[in-house]
Amino acid sequence: MERVRIISGIFQKQVKDLLKNMQVLVLFFVYPIIALIMTSAISGEFGFGSEIFFISIFSAMHCIFTPIVATASIISEEKEKNTLRALIMSNVRPFDYLISIGGFVFICTMVTGLIFLFAADFTTEAILKFLLSISVGTICSIILGLSIGGFSKNMTSANAMAVPIGMVFAFLPMLATFNERIAEISRFTYGYQISNLISSDSFNISLTELTIILVNLIIFIIAFILVFRKNKLED
């Protein structure tokens, strides 16, 4: 119960901090709103399926770019302001803190991701597939964001690293639709596979696609472990 209370307290703190940080708050709404505008603008112009194309592109950006930058920003900001040191000294376990931050970003990403469902007519099966796909992408991105935030000394360096890394993973799926060479490279990234899962007509996922996502996730977890072993949270 004590751990639940601590995690709940950190979560509530993050909600209050988010309402004061417009840069991160707006970030959660950027891609869903753009998708709504784009699908509304092209509705009926390019035929059936064009909405799904834009939704797959922008929802992939949403569950990849947004969690990476948001998580790295939150971790690095609290390190910079010494808030993190105070939490650790108050008997808050590093693991509980990281679970709280990751859970907070996950919920924010998923809740704002529901906006995409208003951009097209989704069946119940399509909604479940969509939510499952972006949840997998969000989890991978959060772990990567935690690694970047833990590695960075301050917010400036965190953003300088998180933004380009997030853009690479998030924008490759879109660029891959226009260039076969880029597609050959990007298919080894989890972002490309998540975008394909969102745009597919069924729950079916090949062994190759699953393997690529798992390999990406394992690499991020290893990076996360190495970063937090070398750079303690309270440092």
Interval 38-60: pLDDT, tens:
887 765 554 445 677 788 889 99
Q: Are 62 and 31 in contact (CB under 8 A)?
A: yes
Question: Does residue 181 surpass a pLDDT of 90?
Answer: no
User: Please, which pLDDT band fits residue 137 given cuts at 50, 70 and 90?
Assistant: very high
User: Is the pTM of the predicted complex or chain greater than 0.85?
Assistant: yes
Residue 12 has pLDDT above 60, yes or no: yes
The residue that leads in pLDDT, 210 or 230, is 210
Structure tokens at 136: 């997998």
What's the CA dihedral at 50, 54, 56, 58 to 10 degrees?
Answer: 180
Q: Which residues contact 189 (CB under 8 A, 6 or more apart)?
A: 169, 172, 212, 216
Confidence of residue 24 (pLDDT cuts 50, 70, 90): confident
Q: How far apart are CA 35 and CA 55, in angstroms?
A: 6
**Per-residue pLDDT, 47:** 45
Is residue 167 very low, low, confident or very high in pLDDT (cuts 50, 70, 90)?
A: very high
Contacts of 159 (CB under 8 A, 6+ apart): 69, 72, 73, 76
E strands, 109-204, where?
A: none
Looking at residue 48, what is its pLDDT? 43
Residue 227 exposed, middle or buried by CB count within 10 Å (0-12, 13-18, 19+): middle
pLDDT score of 15: 75
Average pLDDT over residues 165-194: 88
Q: What is the mean pLDDT of the segment spanning 161-178?
A: 88
Q: Are 110 and 103 in contact (CB under 8 A)?
A: no
C-alpha distance from residue 177 to each of 56, 173, 180 (Å): 12, 7, 7
